[in-house]
Amino acid sequence: MAGIGFRLQGYFSGVSIGDRIKGSLFSVIISCGPWLMTILTIAFISVFAQKHISEHELLVFKSLISYSFAGSLIFFGTLEMPLTRYLADKLYIEDRSSFRQVYLTIMIATLVIGTIGGSLFYSFFDWNLWLTLGSMLLFSIVVCIWLSMVFLSAAKNYKLISVSFLVGSFLTFLLSWQCGKHFGLEGYALGYICGQLTVATLLSMTLYQEFKGREYLSFEFLTYFTKFRSLIAIGCLYYLGIWIDKFIFWLSPSGRFVEGLFYTNQYYDTAMFLSYLSIIPAIAIFFVHVETNFYIHYSYFFRSIDNKVNLPVLRRNIEGIHQSLRDSLISLFKFQTFLTLILWYFSHDLIVFLGLPTLMVSIFRYGLLGAYLQSFFIFCNIVLLYFLAEKYVLRNYGIFFFSNLILSLVTAFGDFKYYGLGYTLSCFFTLVASYLSLNKRLNMIDVHTFMEQPMRHKGLMKLS
């Protein structure tokens, strides 16, 4: 994302308030667009849907969207990291000729997998044909949106990406609302699916406009899935870690059976999704300022190695990396800490203002702390991946998944006042492990950079 981040920094270099607002909006949409727009759209639709469908049908509608996003993210997690590495290597050699072909190949594979998996999953539901087909298609549509954002991180036209999300989200709300008024649950669901299809289509059109190439299938990227198997596990563990506590609370005593294979926990889900909104500023700031500032010093360091500079210059560049991360993260820490504390203090008033049960206050507070901690361990692991420290990241995300699994199991079957504490403690343990890993790696940048290079020499003889 550093590429778009550099382009957005222009909005913050001047004194114009209008430019800063535009830059902030663009950075929020680019960095958090898919899930932010989804949460807001569902919230607005739910307000209007209460007048036209029953409480049970509204739960079915929300569950359909939650399960589709959960499944798509976990599936996408197996693709994201190796694919990102492939695209990064291609960008490094300035070769974008295969981007369209790879995107088309993955989307066809996703459609096939989504059709097979959706047929099995929705066979447990007594739905009509249109709703079943639409629900099966939603999985592939959402994967398409996540996938497009990976490719478009190298795009120049960030304005078109933002417009795609805004237009698609507005149509999602409008189609779902209007169709729901006339056709009930099926109308709300199919209207929402058509709106998301619009987002996916607009992003795909932007991708095809950005990257030129011929229309054929390309399997070149598959070599990265065998070469970087740890990256598959990293993505999968991270997204499983995000969703595992939700799965547990859905099936816990406080959970609720909805229909077919759908379960939900309204208190836990709503409080957690609200708490995630609190870290949107942190993600946007990291995306536009922290990552880009770090990348400048990061690139200086490796460029100086290519140029064979002397040791004092290398050490100054290493100190530049340390200083850029230190200054940027301290500023981010101050801002996000202040925002989280404000939301914590007014959490009861906020829940009451939104018309939600006060039972959610404790969950929301735990969620605020957990999301706050999660944002920082994500940033630590992103930096670690810049230095190819996959083993550290794999261990950290393994801690996240297994600790969230165990602690959520303990709290889900305990007292209500501890709901969400498992997630918060899991994020704390992961942050500690991630910080220690990053600190260790940063203190030995030069050692790892030189000692981990492959040793090859034409004159070397194989010893028998």
Separation in Å, CA 399 to CA 275, 372, 379, 425: 22, 17, 16, 11
Provide the residue type at 101 as one letter: Q
- d(CA 437, CA 450) in angstroms, rounded, equals 19
Q: Provide the residue type at 93 as one letter.
A: I
Q: Which residues of the chain have pLDDT under 50?
A: 1-2, 6, 11-12, 15, 457-464
pLDDT of residue 464: 32
> Burial code of 362-372, b = ≥16 C-beta within 10 A, e = fewer?
bbbbbbbbbbb
Structure tokens at 366: 């735990």
Identify the pLDDT of residue 290: 67
For residue 193, which of 277, 114, 80 has the smallest C-alpha distance?
114
CB of 424 within 8 A of CB of 373?
yes
> What residue segments make up the domains of the chain, in order of their start?
2-227, 268-445
What's the pLDDT score for residue 76? 87
What pLDDT shows up at residue 31?
59
Q: What is the pLDDT of residue 6?
A: 46
CB 136 within 8 A of CB 120: no
pLDDT tens per residue across span 175-196: 888 888 888 888 888 988 998 8
pLDDT digits (tens, 9 = 90+) for 327-359: 878 888 888 899 999 999 999 999 998 888 888
Residues in Cβ contact with 17 at an 8 Å cutoff, skipping those fewer than 6 apart: none
What local confidence, expressed as pLDDT, does residue 58 receive? 87
SS3 track for the chain: CHHHHHHHHHHHCCCCHHHHHHHHHHHHHHHHHHHHHHHHHHHHHHHHHCCCCCHHHHHHHHHHHHHHHHHHHHHHHHHHHHHHHHHHHHHHCCCCCCHHHHHHHHHHHHHHHHHHHHHHHHHHCCCCHHHHHHHHHHHHHHHHHHHHHHHHCCCCCHHHHHHHHHHHHHHHHHHHHHHHHHHHHHHHHHHHHHHHHHHHHHHHHHHHHHCCCCCCCCCHHHHHHHHCHHHHHHHHHHHHHHHHHHHHHHCCCCCEEEECCEEECHHHHHHHHHHHHHHHHHHHHHHHHHHHHHHHHHHHHHHHHHCCCCHHHHHHHHHHHHHHHHHHHHHHHHHHHHHHHHHHHCHHHHHHHCCCCCCHHHHHHHHHHHHHHHHHHHHHHHHHHHCCCHHHHHHHHHHHHHHHHHHHHHHHCCCHHHCCHHHHHHHHHHHHHHHHHHHHHHCCHHHHHHHCCCCCCCCCCCCC
pLDDT at 463: 35
CA atoms of 150 and 224, how far apart (whole Å):
16
pTM of the model: 0.85
Q: What pLDDT shows up at residue 17?
A: 58
108, 230 in Cβ contact below 8 A? no
pLDDT of residue 34: 65
- CA 377, chain centre distance (Å): 13
Q: Is there a contact between 163 and 25 (Cβ–Cβ < 8 Å)?
A: no
What the block records as the tokens of 343 is 């939301």
- What is the reported pLDDT for 458? 44
**How far is the C-alpha of 379 from the C-alpha of 287, rounded, in Å?**
10
- Residue 159 token pair: 């304005």
Q: Kindly report the backbone phi and psi dihedral angles of residue 115, in degrees, each rounded to the nearest multiple of 5, phi listed first.
A: -65, -45
CA 427 distance to own-chain centroid: 16
What lies within 8 Å, CB to CB, of 439 at 6+ separation is none
d(CA 125, CA 219): 36
Integer Cα distance of 20 and 4 in angstroms: 16
